[in-house]
Structure 1
Amino acid sequence: MSTAVTVRAPAGTVVGHQVDGVRRYLGIPYAEAPTGARRFAAPVPRARFPQPYDASRHGATSQRVPLFATTTIPEPSVPGDDVLNLSVTAPAAQGCPVLVWIHGGGFLAGSQASCWYDGRAFARDGVVTVTVGYRLGVDGFAPLDGVPANLGLRDLLCALDWVQENVAAFGGDPDRVTVAGQSAGGAAVLALLSSPAAKGRFRRAVSLSGGLFDVDPPHEFLAGLGHSLGVPPTRAGFGRRTPEQLQRAVRDLRGDDSLVLGPVSGDDILPVPVAEGLTAHGHDVPLLLGATGDEFDGDSERGSRAAGTRITDTLFRSACPRIAAARRVAPAGTWLYSFEWPSPTLGGAVHCVDLPFFFDVLDAPGVPEALGPNPPAELATRMHTDLVAFVRGETPTWGRATGRLGDPAREYGRPLAADTRGLYDPVTGGEPC
């Protein structure tokens, strides 16, 4: 049975609900709605709520239309203007470590309201989970004249400030915050880790299938996008179109390009490309990162693991040793993992299928369609336990990575005897070493 629970935080009074000892506060705005004059502007922290805020349902999502008709992760689009919101799932305890989760979606789509990001298992294990929405696509990542760059990253920094100021009221410890994400969310984690502007906002970092996704300024793409919409590719021109119109146009124009908009370097958030920034910043933050064995190459003869030929290698696996090498002098350390369990329905250890294991939500909607009827519960227990331990501040039980040949990595989905063999070739990112 659900019962109301009330929190009095610096942001104001928030009313959520509790079921089976798990407290949920959904859709809490952390910034003012990015509409009107605030569209294409840096986020403005939300004013204190004058009345108790009803946090009983998910808030609006930046995603208006999904990238694909069918997605592996259930990714609901929720209408509304208050897209800069977050949700908190917490145990009935105080002083808990905090996991701040950033969803993926190629910086163009994705939803913080996905049931695969339910933090109930983390709450069971004494961790507060915060899932964050941020601006996507043109509104979040188009470098336009007169517009601050990397608005989506600025949103995330604003959300992390909200966590620092408010999470203690929800039972979290602001001095034990881990920022984590998958795919574009994992890339955002690496971008934040490399950013001098993010210093002090989190203590640990986790990047799942993140990669180094910063892009060159997409002027040609934006020109084509403006042409397709009948507007100049400017702040004023794109401002004449709704986020939904822009997202549909981006989806139609991007074709097979995997990344057309994303973080760009050269501003105060990312003064230099992420790979370069990682050599200078975030050295006091322990990092756990890895990829799935097949990512986007499952269920295909092209998925044979020839070094350097697969999307998996180019975008994801090769980034892991590069990042470890960039952080070689970081005293906090870097640890690698590889997810190798092949989904019987999707034809491999493909992109996103590791998420229900890390979150330990094998009973969530959409899991049987992605993982088959009997995904191994013991693997979920093992992966989730490792992630909880890391968030709590424990040192991983396998060796650190330095980007050199034969670096140890935790392997999920094969016998324990192969648990920490070298998995990443730092040159090609190809076959296990």
Structure 2
Amino acid sequence: MAYLLQTRQGALRGRDDHGITAYLGVPYAKPPSGERRFGPPEPAEPWDGVRDATGFGPTAPKDDYIPMYVPLFPEVDIEGDDYLNLNIWTPGGGGLPVLVWIHGGAFTNGSNSLPEYDGSAFARDGVVFVGVNYRLGAEGFAYLDGAPANRGLLDQIAALQWVQDNIAAFGGDPGRVTVAGESAGAWCVQTLLSMPRAKGLFQRAIAQSGGAQHVLTPETGRLVATDLALRLNAEPTRASLARLSPATIARAVRAVVEEVQTAPDPDKWGDLALSAQPFAPTVDGDVLPGPPLDGSDPDVALLAGTTADEARLILVASGTIDAIDEDTLHASAAAYGLDADRALAVYRANRPDARPGDLLSAIVSDWYFRVPVVRSAEARGTNTWIYRFDWAAPALGSGHGVDIPFAFDTLDAPGLEARIGPEPPQSVADAFHAVWVSFVTTGDPGWAPYEPSARTVGVITDTVTAVDDPAGSERVLWEGRR
């Protein structure tokens, strides 16, 4: 494939790597700075000549993760306002399926330029891969007077529209687009499925460790914006925050997140004390008309799933898993809405050697991740497949985020050893990556869709095994509660 190609905005020069061409830092919208700050995205300006797309572009403004996550999720920070950009990997040709990736990071962190998000393996297997940057934290998700809500989601829709307009030049078929994301990215995917503005921009979706229930009400959105503004000696308005630098606001965003995730006061934060995501999509009645669970488009095929022990990441990283005692476990089960005695008997029966911290991890994993994914499948009623990733890393087990480099087949990316250990098995990456490629290419991951009669789940290790209703006795505990 030629390194030069023409988009609607202008010509690009990419870089070749063993027959795969990457076009990096390609703008899909104007820089969200100056008068455009906290506004809706606007299409990128055309350029003259050939734009160099051989290096990554700027990343969205953000602060560091809270300390316990820093060694587990290395960041890439590239300064510049032109951060609404895409990274594209293509094998060349034409009519190829397209995978559009929305990164995670709790809506406040991450970027499309992390080494584990390298799209070369997808391109190797005949898929045009597109990684998206979008506005984070307050820039993208604070619920502000005078600003459109859900600006980060509007960015993603703008990126998907750019793909419709331009991806054929990269060898992709705009009628075969899959949008995928992990964690916050998966919540975005589940939300996009319900948004009228996104309809028709993709035909398939993958939600990796994220359901459709984690959205804010306008009241909660205002609570978060007001708290943020107080920390900045500002007002929760577009005009007031626009006077402050993105870096200043990002530091305050981190302070809000740290309070909500490490020492939340339920009297102050309400439901956020459990959901722990103060910056997230808000059901504003316009950009997001209603709860995503109520409006997921059944015409879009959905592959959704979790790791087997998502919350182990939180409990191990925070150093609390060994400190959980029976009293704390019992109180926590009740706080998550369970009949604690009954629930703990069921969870313990399925894990006879588990410590209290292990049992709490299982409960939190179900409340936060697995049950919302099941509810998404139940609400959709059709055209949905569920998986569970079971491989366990040495320290984090099958914790949140462990599965990402297996899906991407990027086990050799730098900075991953703390999360996946020194010798992650290539055979598991081969199996999980193949599931994604199959779904993106054909719409079939390799097992039966999820239906109430069987509740079939594809269980991923170094093989893929179809299992009917795994951990069903635990799933039943949440009926009517989550």
Q: Partners of 2:110 and 2:399 in 1: how far apart?
A: 17
Cα separation, 2, equivalents of 1:135 and 1:357: 26
Q: Deviation of residue 144 (structure 1)?
A: 1.2
Q: Structure 1 residue 313 and structure 2 residue 316: aligned?
A: no
Query: 2:233 maps to what in 1?
Result: 230
Q: Deviations over 1:343-384 (max 9, x none)?
A: 10x331111110111001111112333211211111110111
CA 1:54–1:424 in 2, change beyond 3 Å: closer, same or farther?
A: farther
Going by fraction, where is helix more abundant, 1 or 2? 2
SS of residue in 1 equivalent to 2:368: helix
For residues 389 and 395 of structure 1, the distance between their equivalents in structure 2, rounded to whole angstroms, comes to 6
What is the match of residue 373 of structure 1?
422
Count how many residue pairs are aligned between Structure 1 and Structure 2.
418
Equivalent of 2:29 in 28, 31, 34:
31
Alignment partner, residue 295 of structure 2: 277
Structure 1 equivalent of residue 441 of structure 2: 392
Distance in 2 (alpha carbons) for counterparts of 1:107 and 1:383: 25
Residues 15-39 of structure 1 show CA distances to partners (whole Å, capped at 9, x for unaligned) of 1110111111000110000111101
Amino acid aligned to 1:316:
F
Superimposed CA distance per residue, residues 68-110 of structure 1 (whole angstroms, 9 cap, x where no aligned partner) = 3415333211110011111101113222110000000111111
What is the 5 A alignment of 1:28-107?
Answer: 28-69=26-67, 70-107=70-107
How far off its partner does 1:424 sit? 5.7
Aligned counterpart for 1:342 among listed residues 392, 395, 400: 392
On the 8 A contact 1:386/1:396 being kept in 2, the answer is yes
- Checking the alignment, whether the CA contact within 8 Å between 1:398 and 1:420 is kept in structure 2 is no
Q: Take 1:348 and 1:59, find their aligned partners in 2: how far apart are those partners?
A: 34
229-238 or 17-26, which moves further after superposition? 229-238
Contact 2:217 2:284 in 1 (8 A): no
- Distance of 1:4 and 1:368 partners within structure 2: 36
What is the CA-CA distance between 1:427 and the residue it aligns to?
4.3
**Gapped regions of structure 2 (runs ≥ 5):** 262-275, 322-354
Task: State the alpha-carbon separation in 2 of the partners of residues 412 and 376 from structure 1.
Answer: 13
- Taking the aligned partners of 1:424 and 1:134, their CA distance within structure 2 comes to 36
Secondary structure of the corresponding residue to residue 18 of structure 1: strand
Aligned to 1:295: 310
Q: State how far apart, in whole Å, the 2-side matches of 1:110 and 1:160 are.
A: 19
Alignment of 1:187-336 (within 5 A): 187-212=187-212, 213-217=214-218, 218-254=221-257, 255-257=259-261, 258-278=276-296, 282-298=297-313, 299=316, 300=321, 301-305=355-359, 310-328=363-381, 330=382, 333-336=383-386
Partner SS, residue 312 of structure 2: coil
Instruction: Provide the rounded CA distance (Å) in 1 between the counterparts of 2:189 and 2:96.
Output: 21
Contact residue 303 and residue 310 of structure 1 kept, 8 A = no
2-side partners of 1:44 and 1:263: how far apart?
A: 20
- Of the three residues 450, 454, 459, the one matched with 1:401 is 450
Aligned AA for 2:250? Answer: Q
Distance apart, 1:338 and its partner CA: 0.6
Gaps of 5+ in 1: none
Deviations 1:390-422 (A, max 9, x none): 0002423212113x3751101112776x54232
In structure 2, how many angstroms separate the alpha carbons of the residues matched to 1:54 and 1:78? Answer: 16
Shift of 1:157: 0.5
1:116, 1:428 → 2: CA distance?
A: 36
Q: CA deviation at 1:63?
A: 3.6
**Residues 153-195 of structure 1 deviation map (CA, whole Å, 9 limit, x = unaligned):** 1000100010001011011111110000000000000000111
Identity of aligned residues (%): 42
In 1, Cα distance between the equivalents of 2:49 and 2:477?
56
Q: Distance in 1 between matches of 2:113 and 2:456?
A: 35
Structure 1, 386-395 or 216-225: larger mean CA deviation: 216-225
Q: 1:310 aligns to what SS in structure 2?
A: helix
Counterpart-to-counterpart distance in 2, 1:367 and 1:306 = 26
Deviation at 1:305?
Answer: 4.0
Larger radius of gyration: 2
Match of 1:245, as an amino acid? T
Contact 1:100 1:177 in 2 (8 A): yes
Residue pair 1:91, 1:127 contacting (<8 A) in 2 also: yes
Partner residue of 2:266?
none
Q: Secondary structure at the match of 2:250?
A: helix
Q: TM-score, normalised by structure 2?
A: 0.83
How large is the RMSD of aligned CA atoms in angstroms? 2.0
Work out the CA distance in 1 between the residues paired with 2:224 and 2:436: 38
